[in-house]
Structure 1
Amino acid sequence: MNSDIVGERISPVSAISESIKRIWKQERWHKTRTGGWIGDAIYGINDGLGAIFGIIAGVAGYTSNSQTVLISGFFGALASTLSMGAGAWLATKSETELQQREIAHERREILEDPEHEFEELVLLYQLKGFSEEESHKLARHVAKDTDLFVKTMAQEELGITEESAGNPWMSALVGSISTFVGGIVPLVPFFFLHGPVAMILAATVSILAHFAVGAAKSLVTARSWWSSGLEMTAAGIIVGVVAYGLGVVGTLVVQV
């Protein structure tokens, strides 16, 4: 292939390549900042908060013994923490293994039938808006390096990038810690208070925490913080009311 530089003039292919690299770098930074562990942490806190608030509300509806409510909520938080950690580890590991399998399959296709894969890449570039000539030039440049060819096809055809591969241990750590933090929040009042006062304060703290977590979700979604916060608050109130009601029904059933 001819050099991209003729004298001091930069060819269109080189300019396009530089533009792609610059845009990709910006998008990769954006994805790293707004996704990944931040989303995992918010999800974990949300899961722990909702689950444990539901548990203590249900137990409080069943018994007025604050110690029972605290112990039930605490062990519920521990169980949720372990479950979330294990689930996050397995999910991330499975996703990574699936991506590795798809990349290996793409590599085999390139080695066995490079012409076909070359034509696919040309078509993919044309679908992005490049002209036929530009698409062929870009594809020829990529196809000169097998590793780059595989990486490009994985990204363009399958949507798999280096940044999309997660770390199972990091996911497990973030998921576990965030779930435990979310689960402890509704229990805090029971460490210092007892009876209805503790439950009322726990409900208040939990509802406010639901709003805060919902607002934080706007960091990884396109929704406004207040809309997301109100949605989470409504969900928390519904969970608490239903769980408490079921606890009261359980008390009546036992008495009968």
Structure 2
Amino acid sequence: MTLDGKHALVTGGGTGIGLAITRALADAGAEVTITGRRAEVLDAVAGPRLHPQVMDVTDEDSVTQGVAAAVTAHGPVQVCIPNAGIAEGRALHKTDTDFWRRIMATNLDGAFWTIRECLHDMRRAEWGRVVAVSSIAGLRGLKGASAYTASKHGLIGLIRSLSEDYLGTALTFNAVCPGYVDTEIVTRNVASIAARAGVTEDAARATMIATNRHNRLIAPDEVAQAVLWLCGPRSDSVNGQCIEIAGGQV
């Protein structure tokens, strides 16, 4: 499969799942704009076909200007990967509005603004791929994480609606829904879960691993390869789908 001549934009592309997706797209020949809030993180992974662009998905102006700068530098965006997200749990009765808005601003508002800005180029080109990185929490309730779960359900709703809007065209909209992936987010959440539940970090990690049906953490590249396939020329008839990557049925 080749993505030669395509310009892809990946939010949160400097670490974790986003970085794996970024590298997979570049290996397939795409020019990839990697966005994030920290220039030093982006610069550390930049290279041939990997182009850093500082952009804060929680700020509409930053997204508008960031996508415009990427288009000026590398041409129209034809592949859009809204990946940037935060995964934090908190019981609803302990959730204040600031926490709720912070989750929504990153996981849902950011995806909305990013897709909207990239869609202009796709409509003109009459070809495009949008693959949002959701979560198994987008398909079922995740205990102790109501805000996160709602944001990921909302992201899937956005993708499904867009797939209907552009049905029958060469623009497709899909989502991948990973379980627990072996990234820094899992490492950080181990300590958080252990503190909240009053258990050891080993026990907290085991709890997350057990949520994946095959009883292991998922490698970031497993997610990246699914995204790569959805961006390719032989996935034209896959549209409005939520691909579970969780070791079994969710």
TM-score by length of 2: 0.23
Greater strand share, structure number = 2
Greater helix share, structure number = 1
* Pair member with larger Rg: 1
TM-score by length of 1: 0.23
